[in-house]
Amino acid sequence: MVKLLQLVFQGLSLGSVYSLIALGFVIVFKGSGVFNFAHGEFVMGGAYIVVVGSGQLPWGVAIVVSCAVLVVTALVCERFLLRPMLGRPLFAVIMVTLGLSIMARAVAAMLWGVEERGNAAAPIGRNVVRIEGVALPWVGIWTIIVAAGVMAVLYWFFQHTHYGLAMRATAVHQEAAAAQGIDIRRMFALSWAIAGVLAVAGGIFLGAFPRQVGPSMGFVALAALPAIIIGGFDSLPGAIVGGFAVGLMQVVGSGYLGDFGGGRFHEVLPYLVMLAVLAVRPFGLFGSRDVERV
């Protein structure tokens, strides 16, 4: 029982990281119709800037700097590379973001080398709270608190502000939104900016103890892909549910399936569950069904 609770806690904390990353993918996809495969590299970049920056600056300032850099990068990518792709086939748009991710990895390696750079959430430390034999690392507790806080802010933003309403309207129907006087281009930019901030938040905790900030983080973030599919590509609650589901599956799976399938079965478990979900609901658990017209 203690083992199960322990694993569930760790699964929830990993799951909240995946949820943050998945939200970044989904908000950009809903907001501007681009599926941004470079989001994993945004996450990596955010984490690197925090780690490297906190060498010279206080940790909090480094986070602000990282958010600023990421938001500007996201806006530049959106404005100059992805907006010209409006109306082009999905495949072409995906490829642009894949090209971006290759460039981003090369730039990161040029700037920061290929070795691991340590803990992005160092000030939280490695201390552990023990409750009834279950060890709760502070990093994990903070991950869950921050993720819950970010999600609450996003909920408030989308439900209770003018900009949130405008973004939701744009996601539903771009032309109708434009006819209501919404500046669609600004909504595109806004969704990318939000994704940039989410990438920093996800990156800090993806690069937090016991994990490290390193050049392979961009690929780790791809573990959020099954989360997005399980939840449905265009659903924010879906991204959150999917993120937690994948985190729990990976951690609990690694705890209980150690003797099964070579001890690495938990790595593919989310993908297998994703395939099962797709077999039943081809648009994910919370996604909206496409309406087909010839």
Task: List interacting residues with another protein (CB under 8 A).
Answer: 35, 81, 84-85, 88, 90-92, 94-96, 98-107, 109-115, 219, 222, 225-226, 228-229, 233, 261-265, 267-268, 271-272, 274-275, 278-279, 282-284, 292-294
Smallest distance from another protein to CB 104, Å = 8
For the CB of residue 185, give the shortest distance to another protein in the complex, in Å: 17
CB 2 within 8 A of CB 134: yes
Residue among 107 and 129 whose Cβ is closer to another protein: 107
CB of 137 to another protein, least distance (A): 28
Report the C-alpha dihedral over residues 136, 138, 143, 144, rounded to 10 degrees: 50
Q: Which residues of 11-49 are buried (b: 16+ CB within 10 A; e: fewer)?
A: bbbbbbbbbbbbbbbbbbbbbbbbbbbbbbbbbbbbbbb
Chain centroid to Cα 207, Å, comes to 13
Number of Cα atoms under 13 Å in the Cβ half of residue 17? 33
Q: For residue 84, what are its two tokens?
A: 């010209």
Instruction: Give the end-to-end CA distance of the chain in Å, rounded to a whole number.
Output: 55
Q: Which is nearer to another protein, 9 or 18 (CB)?
A: 18
CB of 193 to another protein, least distance (A): 21
Q: C-beta of 121: minimal distance to another protein in Å?
A: 23
Closer to another protein by Cβ: residue 19 or 143: 19
What does the alpha-carbon distance between residue 79 and residue 185 come to, in Å, rounded to a whole number? Answer: 9
Task: Tell me the closest approach of the beta carbon of residue 281 to another protein, in angstroms.
Answer: 10
Distance of CA 86 to CAs 79, 83, 91, 92, Å?
Answer: 11, 5, 12, 10
Q: For another protein, which is the closer residue by CB, 32 or 143? A: 32
CA distance 246 to 252: 10
- Judged by beta carbon, residue 64 or residue 185, the one nearer another protein is 185
Judged by beta carbon, residue 36 or residue 143, the one nearer another protein is 36
